[in-house]
Chain A
Amino acid sequence: MLLDRDLDLDDLYREIILDHYRNPRNRGSLEQPTASSEGDNPLCGDEVKVDLDIRDGRILDARFEAKGCSISQASASMMTEAVKGLSLEEVESLFQMFKDMMYGADGVNLEALGDLEALQGVRKFPVRVKCATLAWNTLEQALEELGRQTRSGMKE
């Protein structure tokens, strides 16, 4: 690393985060997503779009497109990797754990978060927390929208 040992900055920009930023995984869109949503942080201008392919209550594929800072892009990339193959309940509980970590709740099982744990250094830069949570909130929004559609579909 070119920086001298700046503890805080090293915590924020962990190597794994920079790797996802430079080499984003699952970037792009799905042709026929089951669920899709767009989110933005009007204050920073970060934008993200999340596409999901869901079958039998399980996420088979996830893609993202993002414009924004390294944290928001890396977080979106890491999220798509983490949620692939999970059931919607598992996604829900992972998101809860992630939020707990980002907002500094006690007793978070960091091991269960896997690579996502790398984002906890963002907490030291409170203005950046919303960059890290943007992709997750957008995913949540896509699932809520899907839920609404499914419910109204049942009524018809």
Chain B
Amino acid sequence: MRPSRVRTAFDVRAIRRDFPILSRQVRGKPLVYLDNAATTQKPRSVIEALVHFYEHQNANIHRAIHTLGEEATVAYEGTRAKVSRFINAPGPESIVFTRSATEALNLVASAWGRANVREGDEIVLTQMEHHSNMVPWQRLAQEVGATVKYIGVTDEGTLDLNGLDEIITEKTKLVGVTQVSNAFGTINPLDRIIDAAHQRGALALVDGAQSVPHMPVDVQALGCDFLAFSAHKMLGPTGVGVLYARHELLEAMEPYQGGGEMIRRVRLEGATWNDVPWKFEAGTPNIAGVVAFGTALDYLSDLGMDDVRAHERELTAYALDRLRQLEGIVIYGPQEASQRGGVVSFNYPDIHPHDVGTILDGEGIAIRAGNHCAQPLMHRFDIAGTARASFYIYNTLEEVDALIEGIKKARAFFGHAPG
């Protein structure tokens, strides 16, 4: 049963005061924001960093000969160094800024994939990938005549690693896997998969969009070759994504887009490329967004990612516990909070998740309802979608209680299955 107070590693009440949006009301009720896997709310310090940049430092980066340009460049590159430390990359030259995790994945499929994947080669993904780590590879495979193979999913919502040796073979050029499922919250055994990839001479790409914001991630310990994630799912602004790649890979890769910043020399006959990582950052990037993302990383680093994880794990364990007491509800993914991120995905078989979502919205509770950009996973379970509540640093056990009450209300509202 519920502990009498929030037993977390940090002071959630104090954290909540840092987030202006958490004091607003929705449909006359206090906002309960449980859609953090879609995007997180922003602390005042991040919002102020955006404003501060535009009020005091706004200039284009890398080329300006004036003071503002220099300050903007230092601030922008400062975030690159913070990102590098945050995921324990060997250095900032391994960090490429994109506009989203999706763009980071497309960058790899395009810039690395076109040069390295040939007819007859294989790409291995999992059946629980987000569309953004599936569609770019399907397009590449179609273009070059390669094949995409999938690691299946068990009834428990975990990866089915039986037969992994038949799926990852000498033909495999790359294995792409999400560290945490955005749809079910499953934490995947990356060690085993990355090992299997490397043993066969394939590269390993990790979709970290749902892991980097929520738990300590160390790319050197993981040994992955690529890691993609996005700023807006970890307190930062929208429009900023990150690609980590091993430095040698970035050196060998052709640019993704052509334009300003990515070039060294341009003549009418052609051009040569800038150094890594700027070679991959054509065009003026989201400078203010990157700068404010640095403030978001500071906020998370101050809390400590171990404590962030511990907090979410407690909320998830409590939510699973309370959900299980609701008769007839189906919970997807591993039953143990230790094996999942801060995501709970559930359904009443006879109530569409959108109807649950709308009733909860009427209570001021924001969840996600739908297929979570993971249609192949939904097909695997023969469902149109799920209702998904996802937690972050500012959520409380009381909010889980509110969620449960809202779900009960939906149950009562729709009565029993239609005839």
Contacts and interface: CB of A to CB of B under 8 A. Distances in A.
A22 B413 contact: no
Interface string B84-107: 000000000000000000000000
Interface stretch (B74-82, B325-333, B351-359): B351-359
Interface string B320-361: 000000000000000000000000000000011111001101
Nearest to B354: A69
A22 B384 contact: no
Interface stretch (A4-12, A84-92, A143-151): A4-12
A3 B413 contact: yes
A98 to B, nearest CB: 20
Contacts of B375: 42
B362 A9 contact: yes
B418 A128 contact: no
Interface in A1-58: 1-3, 6, 8-9, 12-13, 18, 21-24, 42-47
Contacts of B409: 2-3
A42 B355 CA distance: 16
Contacts of A69: 352-355
Given A6-B362, A45-B371, A70 B419 contact: no
A70 B355 CA distance: 7
Nearest to B385: A45
Interface in B363-386: 370-371, 375, 378, 383-385
Interface string B391-419: 00000000000000000010011110011
B27 interface: yes
Nearest to B408: A2
Given A43-B370, A45-B370, A45-B384, A70 B27 contact: no
Contact of B358 (A18, A24, A42, A125): A125
B385 A128 contact: no
Interface residues of A, number: 28
Contacts of B361: 125
A42 B373 CA distance: 10
Contact of A8 (B362, B370, B383): B362
Contacts of B370: 43-45
B358 A22 contact: no
**Interface size class, chain B:** 20 to 34
A76 to B, nearest CB: 12
B35 to A, nearest CB: 13
A22 B419 contact: yes
B413 A21 contact: no
A44 B413 contact: no
Contacts of B352: 44, 46, 68-70
A131 B418 contact: no
A14 to B, nearest CB: 13
Interface string B10-33: 000000000000000001000000
A131 B359 contact: no
Given A23-B419, A70-B414, A9 B359 contact: yes
A49 to B, nearest CB: 15
Give the residue among B385, B412, B413, B418 with the most A Cβ atoms within 10 A.
B418
Nearest to B416: A22
A107 to B, nearest CB: 29
A78 to B, nearest CB: 14
A75 interface: no
Nearest to B410: A3
A43 B371 CA distance: 7
Given A8-B27, A68-B352, A68-B384, A21 B362 contact: no
A82 B316 CA distance: 47
B362 A44 contact: no
Contacts of A23: 418-419
B418 A24 contact: yes
B412 A2 contact: yes
A21 B358 contact: no
A46 B419 contact: no
A45 B413 contact: no
A13 B378 contact: no
B413 A2 contact: yes
A131 B385 CA distance: 15
A131 B384 CA distance: 14
Contacts of B27: 6, 8
Nearest to B351: A70
Given A9-B359, A45-B370, A131 B354 contact: yes
Contacts of B371: 43, 45
B419 A128 contact: no
A70 B409 CA distance: 15
Given A9-B358, A13-B413, 14 more contacts: A6-B27, A8-B362, A9-B362, A21-B418, A22-B418, A42-B375, A44-B385, A45-B371, A45-B378, A45-B384, A46-B352, A69-B354, A69-B355, A131-B354
Interface of A: 1-3, 6, 8-9, 12-13, 18, 21-24, 42-47, 67-71, 73, 125, 128, 131
Interface of B: 27, 351-355, 358-359, 361-362, 370-371, 375, 378, 383-385, 409, 412-415, 418-419
Q: Nearest 7 CB-CB pairs, A to B?
A: A45-B384, A69-B352, A69-B354, A2-B412, A9-B362, A22-B418, A45-B385
